[in-house]
Amino acid sequence: MGTKGAPAIETLTLDPYFDLELFMLLSQNKRLDTATAELAEECWRRWHDRMQGRRIGNQGQGYLLLWLEESVEREVNSTWDEAPSRAFTMNSVAQSMLMAVVREYLPEVGGSGCAPVPKPTPALKKALKEIGVPWNDNATLARQYAMLTPFPFKGSCGICYLKEECPNSERGKG
């Protein structure tokens, strides 16, 4: 448990599975050629141990924080100029890794279609900074491939901090 007022931070053991359907959706592919499949498999294998996860909170209330280490960001970003198609595939693999873990810990996200962003409390911001994945003022995390969502699942669009700006939320559609 964390000190009084500070949330506990628990390191999670992660072993995401490769969800081909999710990868194809994120990479906007209806079919995979051999080169794309090989690149996806190679990135998944290399990045598997670069996935980090923490449970932040006390007494069953809290957040799930997932991110890929900065080396993954650098690798993907350095590929965009030289091989945009390759970089897009790599980007889709990174996103697939995050979503696979989210769905493992919060299967309800698959049904709702969304892992809502929580409102950043001062205690949450402090914990994120302590972990090394601080909250930015523009409602993002300091890692390019990162997700933060309530844990356990508490709902989707209705509780999302970004619901006013999200084109997928009910408010954003009207």
Beta bridge partners of 156: none
Q: Which of 4-13, 24-33, 122-131 has the weakest average pLDDT?
A: 4-13
State the Cα–Cα distance between residues 94 and 37, nearest whole angstrom: 14
Q: Domains in the chain, ordered, with CATH?
A: 8-173 (3.40.109.40)
- In one-letter notation, the amino acid at residue 100 is A
Place of tokens 């698959």: 110
pLDDT score of 167 = 59
* pLDDT tens track for 93-112: 999 999 999 988 887 776 66
Tokens of 157: 């669009």
pLDDT score, position 173:
44
Query: What percentage of the chain carries pLDDT values higher than 90?
Result: 48
Q: Is residue 68 scored above 70 in pLDDT?
A: yes
Instruction: Determine the Cα–Cα distance for residues 156 and 160; give it in Å rounded to an integer.
Output: 6
Report CA 116 to chain centroid distance, whole Å: 11
